[in-house]
């Protein structure tokens, strides 16, 4: 199956979330995915620890050939964000591509400026497109919720509600 022309920019949190529920391969297969060097450095930093996140980060880095690493000059800066997040934000501005993250602070400061989504967007998208069954989608969301310690937060409740009501 040919790759869809849509490009998504993923940050460290999105890579970790998607790989933790084994959904990253499907996303990389269907879409063009790009990220920044800072994200790669963050993932490499994770691999220094042999914990759950370190192992997931290793698996993400093993798929490096399947996504593009880009750099973006910081032209527009948001003062509440770190330099790495500003680079990420500027890549989205430059490429006019949606950005996927699970960082709520980042989302709060960028939502009016760029298209930004939480990583479960792919659970809904792949279910709606028929690449993932609804029966598998809900347990995946539960798994992600546990890994991310989301409990009954807004992201989990909103996505769960939508998934349950999909045609």
User: Where does this chain bind other proteins (CB under 8 A)?
Assistant: 1, 4, 6, 30, 98, 104-105, 107-108, 111, 115-118, 120-131, 151-155, 157-159, 161-162, 166
Q: Whose Cβ is closer to other proteins: residue 2's or residue 75's?
A: 2
Least Å distance between CB 15 and other proteins?
A: 16
Q: Where are the beta strands (DSSP E) in the chain?
A: 7-10, 32-36, 68-70, 99-100, 116-117
Least Å distance between CB 126 and other proteins?
A: 7
| Phi, psi values for residue 117, rounded to 5° | -130, 155
Least Å distance between CB 34 and other proteins?
A: 17
Q: Whose Cβ is closer to other proteins: residue 86's or residue 119's?
A: 119
Q: At what angle do helices 134-148 and 12-20 cross, to 10 degrees?
A: 130
Least Å distance between CB 42 and other proteins?
A: 21
Task: Give me the DSSP letters along 74-103.
Answer: --S--TTS-HHHHHHHHHHHHHT--EE---
Q: Whose Cβ is closer to other proteins: residue 31's or residue 57's?
A: 31
Q: Whose Cβ is closer to other proteins: residue 20's or residue 127's?
A: 127
List, as own/partner pairs, every contact residues 132-138 make where C-beta atoms lie below 8 angstroms and the sequence separation is at least 24, other chains included: 132/23, 132/26, 134/163, 134/166, 137/163, 138/163, 138/164
């Amino acid at each position: 199956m040919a790759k869809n022309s849509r490009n998504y920019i993923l940050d460290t949190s999105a890579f970790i979330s998607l790989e933790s529920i084994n959904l990253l391969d499907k996303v990389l297969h269907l879409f063009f995915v790009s990220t920044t060097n800072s994200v790669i450095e963050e993932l490499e930093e994770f691999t220094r620890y042999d914990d759950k996140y370190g192992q997931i980060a290793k698996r993400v880095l093993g798929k490096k050939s399947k996504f593009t690493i880009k750099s973006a000059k910081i032209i527009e800066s948001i003062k509440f964000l770190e330099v790495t997040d500003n680079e990420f934000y500027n890549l989205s501005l430059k490429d006019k591509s949606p950005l996927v993250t699970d960082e709520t602070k980042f989302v709060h400061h960028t939502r009016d400026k760029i298209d930004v989504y939480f990583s479960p967007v792919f659970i809904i998208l792949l279910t709606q497109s028929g690449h993932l069954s609804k029966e598998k989608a809900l347990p995946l969301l539960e798994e992600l919720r546990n890994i991310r310690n989301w409990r009954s937060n807004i992201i989990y409740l909103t996505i769960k509600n939508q998934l349950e009501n999909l045609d």
